[in-house]
Amino acid sequence: MKRVFSGVRPTGRLHLGNYLGAVKNYVALQDDYECIYCVVDIHALTTLEETDALKENIYEMMLDLLASGLDPKKCILFVQSQVPEINELFTLFGMITPLSWLLRVPTFKEKVRMHPDNVNYGLVGYPVLQAADISLYKADLVPVGVDQLPHLELTREIVRRFNEKFGDTFPEAQARLTNFPTVVGLDGKDKMSKSLNNHIELALSEEETAKKVMSAVTDPARQYKTDPGHPDICNVYKLHNYFSPQAVAQIADDCRNARIGCVQCKRALAEAINVYLRPIRAKRSKLAENPDEIYRIMADGAERAGAIARETIDEVRRKMNLR
């Protein structure tokens, strides 16, 4: 069975963009592949200047991942830093990765713009750590969207260079192409993001969700309820596609013919989101009653991942004549 690896940064509670863009797919993959999913807390440090909330963010994210359907009996779910071998492979990969490869990565330039006062060594080496994550577990497949293919190709280049220097050791992980939807935030402009405060967290109450949805920007060309709407440019309508699939054609027709206004459309979306998320929220509440079980799942996942990692590092040390 082919092995899948993917990691998620612990930024706190998951929102709808995270769920639709990645987590829903993670849940589907675990039925057909050997899946390893990692909360990448070391990655988070590259742009994190304070770590006070890191432990809580990891816990909250674990709750959301488990509530969303990740099953520790079907996949390995763990925290990156709890398998220390990642740091060794990161260091060793760094010894063979040309700096020029890293400086050309588009996301590095983007992060420099976003964090001009914190351009650290870890930020430059982020792709090397990513390559080490994938390679430490000898993953065959990495779920990515088409826009992320250049990042995976850099991992493949690092692996190829290692294999050429020290012998065939790591598979060149292939993309498991996935249609990751770009979920636009409530502002109607930017990708849904915590930093932009335009998101809806999975764990919100139904009342909080409704309040968030009612603040969403809709069709900018529609001023009055009697005006015909343009659902194709309305972000609320786009969200209806995910949460009201059976009603979305009728919603579009009613909007175009001014049979419903934006307020009514948003109320319907809020209800649809709440209905969809009720099972997830109920499971999350149940899981939160027993924090010790969440930490047990983390520890068990780290032990299972660690067994794979130790074998890999032993092989790497032998091939690099480090033992």
Q: Is 11 annotated as a binding residue?
A: yes
Name every residue whose Cβ is closer than 8 Å to that of residue 52 and which is 6 or more positions away in sequence: none
17 annotated binding-site participant: yes
Active site residue 238: no
Residue 144's CB is within 10 A of a number of other CB atoms, namely: 20
| Per-state percent for the chain, helix, strand, coil, to nearest 5 | 55, 10, 35
Give me the residues paired with residue 79 across strands: 39
Q: Is 145 flagged in the annotation as binding?
A: yes
Catalytic residue among 111, 138, 212, 266: 111
State yes or no: 25 annotated in a binding site.
no
Comparing CA positions, the residue from 12, 28, 14, 151 lying closest to residue 4 is 28
55, 189, 191, 225: which one is catalytic?
191
- Per the annotation, the verdict on 286 as an active-site residue is no
To the question of whether residue 140 is assigned a binding role by annotation, the answer is no
* H or E element that contains 38: strand 34-39
147 is in an annotated binding site: yes
The reply, when asked if residue 6 is annotated as ligand binding, is no
Which of 194, 238, 283, 319 is flagged as catalytic? 194
Identify the bridge partners of residue 76 per DSSP, sorted by sequence position.
Answer: 36
Active site residue 189: no
**146 annotated ligand binder:** yes
- Scored b (16 or more CB within 10 A) or e, 184-203 reads bbbbbeeebbbeeebbbbbb
Does the annotation flag 10 for ligand binding?
A: yes
Q: Which residues are annotated as a binding site?
A: 9-11, 17-18, 133, 145-147, 183, 191-195
Q: Which residues are annotated as a binding site for L-tryptophan?
A: 133
Q: Which residues are annotated as a binding site for ATP?
A: 9-11, 17-18, 145-147, 183, 191-195
Q: State the catalytic residues.
A: 111, 191, 194
